[in-house]
């Protein structure tokens, strides 16, 4: 089995059945080897620096009704908010002063009429902090809106495909949503010159290992600059409230597979991973991830942005806890890399 890891590292590709074999493998020594190789590749490309992105949770209002998500529109137990322009700019200002050079605007999908407000907001952030990268994670929009957002100054876009199997997609989302549209959005974003991120929840309801292999192969083919993966975590007001939590171990295994497949990709050690296990972030970094996304949102709104139960937004997961994050990274010989951390297409391979 270790040779599969070597092949993936050297050729950045495996046959479907071998991806599945790696996902299924219960030999601890192979899994350890996979993580070691992935961590080595990450260090070869990025050193011991971990990029940070300041996350601003713009709104928990959402026009969609994804069955797994705590801010789905039919959840009437959520106190809805939309940050004001001033609150967003204040959050960015605080982030800038702390040293952040990437802002991620994430939120539920607002109604179409709100697009001009978002576009103006992007323009304002671009004008005030011209040396910062602006990443959006705001869901599905028509092409012309993505285009206007890009023109206003957005550089990157995160849009997880969630699953590349249409039947599985249908089990996670209401019929108004479709995998085709999600994939269409991803290809528009690419065409428009965004650095694009996609990904899945690990252990989402009805997901099989074969589905994950399909996701790996879609990502292999799509070649995103960023890959976002976190365990599924139930939220008590959703139809999947009693579904079990996704596996941290499998999430980390996927970080390693994607690191070997894409040596220079930006792969966050996600909040979801850190929310289910106290050492989650460190496990993720040791498996080859190289980004963390602390929360910059005004503290009084954070509880309302509850995509899942137990979402961590304090201590090292929060911008105010940056010293704690630094200490945590230092404990494993890493540090924060404060640069914008853009995707660099040149692949330096060790000869």
Contact residues for ligand 5AD (CB under 6 A)?
68-69, 160, 162, 201, 230, 232-233, 235, 272, 307-308
Nearest to 272 by CA among 251, 257, 290: 251
Give me the sign of the Cα torsion angle 93, 133, 80, 200.
Answer: negative
Half-sphere exposure of 7 (CA within 13 A, CB side): 10
Nearest to 156 by CA among 138, 141, 144: 138
Between residues 34 and 201, which has the closer beta carbon with respect to ligand 5AD? 201
Between residues 100 and 232, which has the closer beta carbon with respect to ligand 5AD? 232
Q: Is 54 helix (H, G, I), strand (E, B) or coil?
A: strand
CB-CB neighbours of 332 under 10 Å: 13
- Distant-in-sequence, close-in-space partners of 318: CB < 8 Å, separation ≥ 6: 294, 295, 299
Between residues 119 and 201, which has the closer beta carbon with respect to ligand 5AD? 201
Please report how close the Cβ of residue 270 comes to ligand 5AD at its closest, in angstroms: 8
Nearest residue relative to ligand 5AD (C-beta): 308
Please report how close the Cβ of residue 238 comes to ligand 5AD at its closest, in angstroms: 7
Q: Is 227 helix (H, G, I), strand (E, B) or coil?
A: strand
Between residues 68 and 334, which has the closer beta carbon with respect to ligand 5AD? 68
Please report how close the Cβ of residue 7 comes to ligand 5AD at its closest, in angstroms: 29
Q: Is 210 helix (H, G, I), strand (E, B) or coil?
A: helix
* Pair 206, 177: CB distance under 8 Å: no
Please report how close the Cβ of residue 72 comes to ligand 5AD at its closest, in angstroms: 9
Please report how close the Cβ of residue 68 comes to ligand 5AD at its closest, in angstroms: 4
Between residues 68 and 262, which has the closer beta carbon with respect to ligand 5AD? 68
């Amino acid at each position: 089995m270790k040779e599969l890891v070597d092949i993936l590292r050297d050729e950045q590709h495996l046959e479907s059945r071998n991806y599945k074999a790696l996902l299924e493998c219960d030999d601890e020594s192979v899994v350890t080897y996979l993580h070691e190789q992935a961590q080595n590749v990450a260090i070869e490309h990025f050193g011991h620096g971990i990029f940070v992105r300041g996350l601003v949770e713009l709104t928990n209002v959402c026009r969609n009704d994804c069955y797994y998500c705590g801010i789905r529109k039919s959840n009437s137990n959520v106190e809805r908010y939309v940050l004001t322009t001033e609150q967003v700019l204040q959050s960015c200002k605080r982030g800038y002063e702390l040293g952040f050079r990437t802002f991620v605007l994430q939120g539920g999908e607002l109604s179409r009429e709100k697009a001009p407000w978002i576009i103006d907001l992007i323009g304002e952030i671009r004008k005030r902090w011209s040396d910062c990268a602006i990443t959006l994670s705001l869901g599905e929009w028509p092409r012309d809106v993505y285009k206007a957002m890009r023109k206003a100054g957005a550089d990157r876009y995160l849009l997880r495909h969630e699953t590349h199997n249409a039947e599985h997609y249908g089990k996670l989302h209401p019929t108004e949503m479709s995998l085709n549209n999600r994939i269409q959005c991803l290809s528009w974003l690419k065409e428009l010159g965004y650095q694009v991120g996609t990904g899945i929840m690990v252990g989402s309801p009805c997901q099989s290992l074969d589905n994950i292999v399909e996701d790996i192969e879609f990502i292999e083919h799509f070649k995103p600059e960023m890959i976002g993966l976190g365990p599924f975590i139930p939220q008590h007001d959703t139809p999947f409230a009693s579904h079990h939590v996704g596996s941290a171990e499998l999430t980390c295994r996927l970080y390693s597979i994607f690191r070997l497949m894409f040596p220079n990709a930006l792969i966050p050690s996600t909040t979801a991973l850190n929310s289910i296990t106290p050492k989650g972030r460190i496990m993720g970094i040791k498996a080859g991830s190289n980004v963390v996304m602390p929360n910059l949102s005004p503290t009084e709104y954070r509880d309302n942005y509850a995509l899942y139960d137990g979402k961590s937004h304090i201590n090292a997961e929060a911008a105010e806890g940056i010293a704690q994050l630094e200490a945590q990274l230092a404990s494993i010989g890493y540090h924060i890399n404060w640069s914008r951390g853009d995707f660099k297409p040149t692949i330096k391979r060790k000869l």
